[in-house]
Structure 1
Amino acid sequence: MEKYFKKTSQSCHSCASTPTVDLEKNEDEQRNKRNRTIGESSKSTLTDIDNLQSDPGLRIPISEFSFNIRDQIRRSYLQKGPCQPRNHDCPKSKFGMKDRRFNPRWFDKYSSWLEYSIQKDKAYCLYCYLFGVEGRGKEDDEAFRRNGFSNWKKPDRFDLHIGGPNSAHNNARQNCEDLMKQDQNIHFAFHVQSDRTTNAYRIRLNSSIDCVKFLLRQANHNENISSVILKNAPENLKLTAPDIQKDICRAISLAITDYIKEEVGDSFFSILVDEARDISAKEQMALIIRYVNEKGQIIQRFLAIVHVPETSARCLKKEVEQVLSNYCLSHSKIRGHGYDGASNMRGEFNGFQM
């Protein structure tokens, strides 16, 4: 406190002592309040789940526990079951001219959720305590959730509390059942599947970004490249237009097919042909070539994919011959061909024949 308040002389100490004492008192109260708050927060986080309060009238509301451990606390209470002291001698209360009290036989009728507090002499609902929402539902729902129910002359309120399929009680019951069988719950399954899909997407995206970063680093290391690309290129010569990108892809495709032609040379080869329909409902044919290179290794290359007007054997044969002609490959060098099990491909008389 000395760095906030200057020391006063002895003569004026009496006149200044009162406000200084009040300020120090306020500081102490605020400090104690902060310590209390931190202590309570730590207590809720470090709750001993094995020693939770069993009496429903003395329990701490679920909302006051740390959010990270609420499901653990709920699961612990559900595993223990509702507090039902069947052998307790419940005290009597005056209702008009008659004495009434809690009847332990009600535990048999509402065995899964009905609880009784010995300390408060009141009935509670375990489901609503665990998953009830404050401020929602009827007044009776709030009584069973937090305040307790003690109107023993009206046991029909138990059935009214249960209500219809969409009542607060039944929604809380469904949440409890879902919590106890989370692995089988459809929402949990969708959540897990969504997490897996998201993780797989992130891996793919990060891999692509890493490849781009690697290529950019290679360009930065080469001053001859980095000085003429992207932002350093002329406005009309950045080579980023879609048509230019497609032309680059075509050039790469031609370079690859030229390499395949040179590798095949005059050797014998086999072909694999298959037809399929793309997303736009157009028929297309894929052609794969299989051969042995100079090192004696069996090589299999994807050669081309072309659209075809129909998938008859005659049409497919015509397209195959056209593709081989375009790449200067003679069909007389073919020593084998493979297809799928479709009748237009494997028929003895009307099937695909080279």
Structure 2
Amino acid sequence: MQYSQIGTTGVFVSRLSLGAMSFGGREEPWKTVGGLDVKETGRLVGAALDRGVNLIDTADVYGTGASEDLLGQVLGDRRRDVVLATKMTARMGPGPNEVGQSRLHIMRSLEDSLRRLRTDHVDLYQIHNMDPITPFEESLAALDDAVRQGKVRYIGASNLTAWQMMKAVGVSERRGWARFCSLQSYYSLAGRDIEREILPLLREEKLGLLVWSPLAGGLLSGKFDRNGSSDGGARRAQYEFPPVNAERAYDVIDALRVVAARHETGVARVALAWVLAQPGVTSAIIGAKRPDQLEENLAAADLELTAEDLAELDAVSALPVEYPGWIQADRSYRYPQTA
């Protein structure tokens, strides 16, 4: 397993990390996602750690708390081997204050997560989405307090736009508070939207990128083609998330099959290797229901795509150029070359 530094921190995480969304949950959508019990969860976590995975990502909302609870049960004395990440923001109860990023909800959510995870600190505590009500000043002050109290080591965000992430970083730097060290975003060959503004921002500000759903919710797993799924029980066949442009996605799958055949390997492995080859990607979060699925995906860390492979995959999946990108690329606006 290879490791990458998260942003400008001194922390290194595995290039492939384990997502815990399949742990626990007997109601939809968690049942479709996985609904694994404690024995199945322990088997997956143990297999991942044995292969060198050291980042495990969960969220309070996964399984409505069940994912954190199961993870806390199975980690045991291997807690020290893990960079443990969780997230908060989603609704966790019927009350008016059981959602969002108010100081009240952040503090309550953190205490609840620590209890379920059976630990005294979270290594990476992330906001799960944008809160349109609570000002960043309130949320970031509460997160900074959690860091100073020793209950959180680092803070991060998920699913923010570039301007939202930049505003948060600016507020933290202006106030001298703990700064987001990473952003968790959706990125795959079937969804390259973050290349427009988010990826350039992260590279400029030296922030880590944790990729969720690098296989587009299983669409790029090798089980799907233009005729549908070869596995009726596949999550994507029942739950079409994240959304994709279907025609472009099937063109991507066709190209993936060509590259996979060239390397005598599977489609999923190539799709994950492409994500890992992109500049700015710190780690790709993979989920699984069974150890064999996990093993197949972890093998992507050892696959090195050629320039030809990358060019073919880039060409079939490239985003259409949007304004102001096309005018900023106009060479007539560039300075002359200097010696």
TM-score bracket relative to the smaller structure? under 0.3
**Higher relative contact order by CA 8 Å / sep ≥ 6: 1 or 2?**
2
Looking at secondary structure, tell me which structure has more helix per residue: 1
Q: Which has the larger radius of gyration?
A: 1
TM value normalised by structure 1: 0.18
